[in-house]
Amino acid sequence: MRVLKAFIAVVALVLVALVVAQVPGGQSLLGIVLPYLAFAIFLGGFIYKVVYWAKSPVPFRIPTTCGQENSLPFIKQNKLDCPTTKGQVVGRMLLEVLLFRSLFRNTRASIHDGPTLAYGSNKWLWLFALLFHYSFLVIILRHMRLFTDPIAGFVPMLEFADGFLEVGATTIYQSSFILLAAVTFLFLRRVVRPYLRYISLPADYFPLLLIFGIGLSGILMRHVFRVDIVSVKELTMGLVTFSPSIEGQIGAIFFVHIFLVCVLLAYFPFSKLMHLGGVFMSPTRNMANNSRMVRHENPWNDPNIKPHSYASYEDEFRQFMVDADLPVEKQPEPATAEPEAEEAAPTEEPKA
């Protein structure tokens, strides 16, 4: 049901694009107005969200330590999994962001007669997540061909590396197909694995299907329903130079593609896709484990919260303490002192 909702949403978006592209002025809407709007929402929304996060302080230093701390000289610190300096934190974050370090640890648990719990190696999610993100990145960078004139120097190199297979006159870019394969894997595991199906929301299927739609429309546009690439480039260059216009017949599939991209951009800041920004700001990963070395300040630390004072403790137990030869600050007086404001806890028998 949840997957169906997401599927219907994506199909509906494709249909909308196909219909609007036929309506007078529709192509300008899809090709010019919406890209500006979507990009503005993406940029504004992204910044808004990051600022929203940053406005809250990090009151406590709470890194998750995943290795040996820095303590005695003869004990080797694990500098990447338990960093104490800024440089080491950068190292930890690079591993996390570029290589998905934490996901690499993944295991799969199972229970057997005995009972016996077993933890098997499980790196598929890590592998396909990496493939997904890197192929997406390569594809975005390849698209810079459309937004730079003359074409940025890295693009041809990237295209060369990405497109070693040639079919006829059209280069096949591996990244496009790896992206589709990875998205398919990420989608199927959600559908097939019972616990993943159980935790998945429409908001988990939707971006996967949307990205699949973007990838597929891109491939179709390149290899099946060829679009007029010259007109596309004129449009995209027009967009970046703020003088956009649509000349000639580009082809409907292009408008499906660009519309889905616009939806993705506009959807991004309001969705879980913001993990792109969040991963950099997660306090359990981006803080040094040096809280005993350097004092961490909490801006809202309340100085009025004070411990139950020693004086009131002694006032309550002074006679017992004297009888037990425990040192006291004040000797007991015949008249009992006024108890302090804080009330004594109800006396309860201690329990184990």
Residues numbered 53 to 82 that lie near other proteins (CB under 8 A) are: 53-62, 64-72, 74-76, 78, 81-82
Q: Binding to other proteins (CB under 8 A): which residues in 183-202? A: 193-202
Contact 316, 310 (CB under 8 A): no
Q: Looking at beta carbons only, is 242 or 310 nearer to other proteins?
A: 310
Q: How far apart are alpha carbons 295 and 290 in whole angstroms? A: 8
Q: How far apart are alpha carbons 97 and 111 in whole angstroms? A: 32
Q: Looking at beta carbons only, is 234 or 314 nearer to other proteins?
A: 314
Q: What is the DSSP string of 70-109?
A: S-STTS---TTTS--SHHHHHHHHHHHHHH-HHHHT-EEE
The distance of closest approach from Cβ of residue 13 to other proteins in the complex, given in angstroms and rounded to an integer, is 15
Q: How many residues bind other proteins (CB under 8 A)?
A: 112
Q: How far apart are alpha carbons 44 and 269 in whole angstroms? A: 8
Q: How far apart are alpha carbons 278 and 54 in whole angstroms? A: 10
The distance of closest approach from Cβ of residue 330 to other proteins in the complex, given in angstroms and rounded to an integer, is 13
Q: Looking at beta carbons only, is 59 or 87 nearer to other proteins?
A: 59
The binder of other proteins chosen from 4, 12, 90, 294 (CB under 8 A) = 294
Q: Please name every residue paired with 108 in a beta bridge, in sequence order, or none if there are none.
A: 120
* Element at 228 (helix H, strand E): none
Q: Between 314 and 343, how does the x/- string for binding to other proteins read (CB under 8 A)? A: x-xx--xx-xx-xx--------------xx
Q: Binding to other proteins (CB under 8 A): which residues in 253-272? A: 270-272
Place of tokens 């879980």: 272
The distance of closest approach from Cβ of residue 176 to other proteins in the complex, given in angstroms and rounded to an integer, is 23
The binder of other proteins chosen from 137, 293, 330, 339 (CB under 8 A) = 293
Q: Binding to other proteins (CB under 8 A): which residues in 75-134? A: 75-76, 78, 81-82, 84, 96, 100, 102-103, 105-109, 111-117, 119, 125, 129
Q: Which residues contact 350 (CB under 8 A, 6 or more apart)?
A: none
Q: Binding to other proteins (CB under 8 A): which residues in 211-250? A: none
The distance of closest approach from Cβ of residue 3 to other proteins in the complex, given in angstroms and rounded to an integer, is 12
Q: Please name every residue paired with 119 in a beta bridge, in sequence order, or none if there are none.
A: 109
Q: Please name every residue paired with 112 in a beta bridge, in sequence order, or none if there are none.
A: 116
The answer to the question of residue 352 lying near other proteins (CB under 8 A) is yes
The distance of closest approach from Cβ of residue 95 to other proteins in the complex, given in angstroms and rounded to an integer, is 11
Q: How far apart are alpha carbons 22 and 90 in whole angstroms? A: 51
